[in-house]
Amino acid sequence: MNNADALTGPPGLETVFERIRDLLGEIVGDPDVTAGITEETSVVDDLGLDSIQMINFLLRLEDEFDLELDFEGLTFEQVGSVRGLCRFVAAEARRQS
């Protein structure tokens, strides 16, 4: 794969993680939180996202990754942890590209 393909294809997991981490910091309203987010971070338990913040986060995910999410079909496994989110977003980006 050449560099042009990397720029136009679906994002890799590392890129997805970085973008999700940054979005979560923005949604939480504390950019300093970003540094402590790992793949094991629980979006609800560790970051304390409430339902409104979660909806805003999911809408921002759609914009950030140019995706159309089926909100009613989402499971906690897909959005409960940063790792689950990364895998879900990467898979959706590949599927929708």
**What CATH topology corresponds to 3-96?**
1.10.1200
pLDDT in the model for residue 11? 67
Task: Bin 50: left if φ > 0, else alpha if -120 < ψ < 50, else beta.
Answer: beta
Residue 79, classified by CB atoms within 10 Å of its CB into exposed (0-12), middle (13-18) or buried (19+), is buried
pLDDT category at 36 given cuts 50, 70, 90 is: very high
Taking residues 78-89, report their average pLDDT.
91
Taking residues 17-46, report their average pLDDT.
92
The ranges assigned to domains in the chain are 3-96
Residue with tokens 């977003």: 89
Taking residues 4-15, report their average pLDDT.
58
